[in-house]
Amino acid sequence: MIRTRFAPSPTGFVHVGSIYQTVIYYGFAKKNNGKFILRLEDTDKKRYKEGAEEALYRALEWIKIIPDEGPIYGGDYGPYVQSEVVKNGNRYKKYAYELLDKGIAYRCFCSSERLEKMREDQLKNKQQPKYDRTCLRLTEEEIQKKLDNNEKFVIRMKIPDNEYIEFEDLILGKISFYSNQIDDQVILKSDEYPTYHLGVVVDDHYMNITHVIRGPEWLPSTPKHVLLFKFFGWEIPKFAHTQLLRNENRSKMSKRKGDFSMEDLIALGYLPDAIFNFLALLANPNDKNIEIFDREYYINNFDLKKVPKTGPIFDTKKLLWMNGVYIRKLSIEELKNMIKPFISIDMSKKSDEYLEKSLQLIQERLKILSEADELLKFFFVRPEVKITERKDVVKDLINIVNEYANDDIMEQDIRKLAEKYGMKAGDVFMILRDIITGQSATPPIIPVIKVLGKEESIERLKVTIGE
């Protein structure tokens, strides 16, 4: 069975780029009737952020990508949190020492100061920064002496010399690395926690991960992982490296630069189905130029070969358009419930029916739910009073509103009024709109008056002429 995984580190907010990658892992697994697994790689204690795990669960639940297995989802291959693995037997340590016994890994006692100085010198001399293997040359007696003195050490994997490490990437094709250019990676830290490289290989093996799909930043690490799988005699999973989302200026979207988080998108009032559709379209552009589709369509048509080889552009204008499409698909009852967290105005004095009629008028204009507060405001709060210079026009408008019979007749009467005063019809409509709503852009003003009612509309007109 095909098994993919999303293996984030809980180091802060959930970046939209992470969910973009997840849409790919999820789509590939479901297309092939496989399993999608969530694993938390939390062994970097310095970067761990309180609450990050919960934020991740909320984001996945919101966008409706529910893992088949994971920390809160259960499964037969747990623990699904690396720190829990450390506390429950620490299989990472066991395998690091296995490599140590085989001579495929070695202890490194170098201080962080020495390593930093070494790398600075290498950079000055325009050399590739990599460990100089000082500790590989220690004799057994020297190693034992350091151990007897309780000197701290890490365990490094020993990269073989003069070899080409090759693998077939399912997106990028054949990839080859020359071993002499690869650093002797630390696999077990002095606190006996694994580094990413050992942890990911051991867990992928234990969890029967068949396909490792991940971002491009991990491509240089893949030969180290291939070697570790070989050292342990384990089956090597298939690898596929995707590209990262890019901003509209083509720069890389970055969590560290504060680009869109899922919390941002939720707070702005994007809909989960719209975000999924948008990211799915970026992840797997379809040949039929179909842009609006559901999850079932995405899964049925998913093809790993269609995943872009260059980072797709996160086009916010297109996302706003797409979100608007999904808002217009909502029933008024659904929309009414969804906007409630975004509303600050007091709507308690009006009926549900009044709110629903108001929503029917603004639904077409809504792109994100957070706009609803401003678009609805004039239905519930009278705009600031402005004394008009065209009292004559307003007095006639009051009569027209008072005699309202239907939309067409009112529009004809307003156009006749414009002719009477030698004005453009648009200017008269603008006066009416400005007084009634206090806004320059609203739904058509005659239906707005119909919702507000004659009495309220006339009252708003009267105060501008001092009545």
Structure confidence by residue, pLDDT tens digits, 282-320: 999 887 789 999 999 999 999 999 999 999 999 999 999
pLDDT of residue 11: 82
Residue 202 confidence (pLDDT): 98
Distance CA 83, CA 93 (A): 12
Share of the chain above pLDDT 90, in %: 88
- pLDDT value of residue 176: 97
Q: Quick one: which H or E segment has residue 318?
A: helix 316-329
Exactly one of 255, 329, 336, 377 is catalytic; which is it? 255
pLDDT at position 289, please?
84
Helix (H) or strand (E) holding 277: helix 272-283
pLDDT at 287: 75
> Is 305 a known active-site residue?
no
Quote the CA–CA distance of 280 and 285 in Å, as a whole number: 8
Please report the beta strands in 215-350, taking only residues with DSSP state E, as ranges in sequence order: 238-241
CA distances from 8 to 66, 80, 111 (A): 15, 11, 29
Q: State the pLDDT at residue 406.
A: 86
Comparison of pLDDT for 240 and 251, the residue scoring more: 240
pLDDT value at position 258? 54
pLDDT of 256:
58
Segment 362-383 shows an average pLDDT of 95
Cβ atoms of 415 and 397 within 8 Å: the answer is: no
Token pair 């007095």 is at which residue? 395
Is the pLDDT at 45 greater than 80? The verdict is no
Beta-carbon contacts of residue 85 (< 8 Å; ≥ 6 apart): 79, 91, 92, 203
pLDDT at 50 over 90: no
- Region 155-183 average pLDDT: 97
Q: Beta strand pairing status for 35-38 and 105-108?
A: unpaired
pLDDT of residue 255: 60
Cβ contact 48:11 at 8 Å: yes
As beta bridge partners, residue 175 has: 167
Sign of CA dihedral 23, 260, 40, 237: positive
pLDDT tens-digit readout, 99-128: 999 999 999 999 999 999 999 999 999 999
Q: Can you give the pLDDT at residue 250?
A: 83
Looking at residue 253, its pLDDT comes to: 77
Read off the amino acid at residue 464.
Answer: T
| Average of per-residue pLDDT across 248-256 | 76
